[in-house]
């Protein structure tokens, strides 16, 4: 990659900036309103480091890598974080009970109308509270963002969502049955083990393409993207709840059904806005999941990221908690009617490739 590989960025030209400025000013107002929401509820706003020893350990998240050089010339790999999650959970272990963080985060291989290599993630955590409390937070934040922007609805690509309406709460299994005709949980054992061939057969019957080397998770993701997500968050918000435990990342299993986890995602206008967990605090189980994810990353992409041993040690002290990550820029987009994420970013990253 050379300097000539970067395409000119016109966002700083006065005429272009004048067109973008209303979105940017609305962004500032929404940022202040959301910060006020958390402050009024005794949340402490924290500021976490961007440089981390591990950027996260999910197979399909791609980090920006760099290198730390000591004063004596020693070198060590470092990464720009894909989320402030590890640092925030260490703060919970340290004794904080309610925290919120507006963090710049970095994800490689992502660029498009809803994706940017650097964006702002709003994360918040409630120690000792259920993840249903986060659902209430999400509903309140949607309404607050729209109200602050002076809008009666959230909009994207001609679609609308009433942020003041009671959200639909739908389990992933219910969504698979409704929109794809797939009995998802028939392919998940009480132990959490998954039946790849069983899901492949059901997906093929639903008209989903299945490749010979697709794993269960690949097929699951394809059904979500092709059949489920296009139906979520229209008219009113959707809370997509109870993901299979194998798709739980850092979420604890549900006490109601061991096949699923305390994880939900929030959708409006077909756009995923937030991802929330009842947080896993079992360090051994978390390590096992990280190792599975990194094995999958090695299989697909030929690379892995280190595991943050500090984070696993902190889990031993971390209280039961729930946490949510919300794409702040996407929320601003929907509240202002912007068509692309770069319209609501003050200084977008230069386009560095085709």
Tell me the CB-side half-sphere exposure of residue 307, using CA atoms within 13 A.
Answer: 16
Q: Judging by DSSP bridges, how do beta strands 118-127 and 321-327 pair with one another?
A: antiparallel
Cβ-contact 146, 163 below 8 angstroms: yes
Q: For 180-204, write each residue's pLDDT tens digit.
A: 999 999 999 999 999 999 999 999 9
Number of H helices, E strands in the chain: 9, 13
Q: In sequence order, what are the residues at sequence separation of 6 or more whose Cβ sits closer than 8 angstroms to the Cβ of residue 273?
A: 138, 142, 265, 266, 267, 326, 327, 330, 331, 334
pLDDT average, residue stretch 131-159? 97
pLDDT confidence of residue 79: 97
pTM for the structure as a whole = 0.95
123-150 mean pLDDT? 97
Whole-angstrom Cα distance, residue 337 to residue 330? 10
- Give the CA distances from residue 182 to residues 157, 177, 304, in Å, rounded to whole numbers and listed in that order: 28, 5, 32
Dist CA 160 CA 122 (whole Å): 23
Residue 354 has pLDDT above 70, yes or no: no
Report the pLDDT value the prediction gives residue 351, as an integer from 0 to 100.
Answer: 87
The predicted-structure confidence for 52-73, as pLDDT tens digits, reads as follows 999 999 999 999 999 999 999 9
E strand intervals along 296-349:
321-327
Average pLDDT over every residue of 250-278: 96
Q: Which residues pair with 126 in a beta bridge?
A: 98, 322
């Amino acid at each position: 990659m050379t300097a000539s590989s970067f395409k000119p960025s016109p966002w700083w030209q006065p005429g272009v900036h004048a067109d973008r400025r209303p979105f940017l000013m609305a962004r500032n107002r929404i940022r202040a309103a959301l910060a006020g929401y958390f402050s009024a509820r005794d949340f402490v706003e924290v500021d976490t480091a961007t440089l981390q020893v591990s950027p996260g350990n999910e197979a399909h998240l791609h980090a920006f890598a760099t290198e730390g050089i000591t004063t004596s010339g020693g070198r060590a790999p470092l990464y720009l974080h894909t989320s402030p999650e590890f640092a925030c959970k260490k703060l919970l272990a340290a004794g904080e009970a309610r925290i919120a963080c507006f963090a710049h985060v970095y994800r490689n291989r992502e660029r498009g109308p809803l994706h940017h290599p650097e964006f702002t993630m709003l994360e918040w955590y409630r120690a000792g509270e259920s993840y249903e409390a986060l659902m209430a937070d999400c509903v309140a934040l949607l309404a607050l963002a729209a109200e602050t922007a002076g809008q009666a609805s959230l909009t994207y690509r001609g679609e609308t969502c009433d942020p003041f309406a009671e959200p639909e709460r739908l389990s992933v299994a219910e969504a698979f049955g409704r929109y794809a005709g797939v009995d998802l949980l028939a392919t998940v054992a009480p132990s959490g083990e998954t039946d790849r061939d069983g899901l492949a057969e059901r997906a093929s019957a639903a008209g989903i393409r299945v490749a010979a080397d697709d794993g269960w998770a690949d097929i699951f993701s394809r059904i979500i993207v092709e059949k489920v997500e296009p139906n979520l968050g229209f008219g009113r918000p959707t809370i997509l709840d109870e993901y299979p435990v194998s798709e739980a990342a850092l979420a604890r299993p549900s006490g109601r059904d061991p096949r699923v986890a305390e994880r939900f995602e929030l959708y409006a206008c077909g756009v995923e806005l937030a991802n929330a967990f009842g947080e896993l605090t079992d360090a051994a189980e978390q390590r096992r999941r990280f190792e599975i994810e990194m094995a999958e990353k090695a299989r697909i992409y030929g690379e892995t990221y280190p595991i943050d041993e500090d984070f696993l040690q902190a889990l031993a002290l971390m209280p039961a908690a729930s946490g949510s990550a919300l794409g702040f820029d996407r929320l601003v987009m929907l509240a202002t009617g912007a068509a692309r994420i770069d319209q609501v970013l003050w200084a977008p990253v230069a386009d560095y490739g085709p």
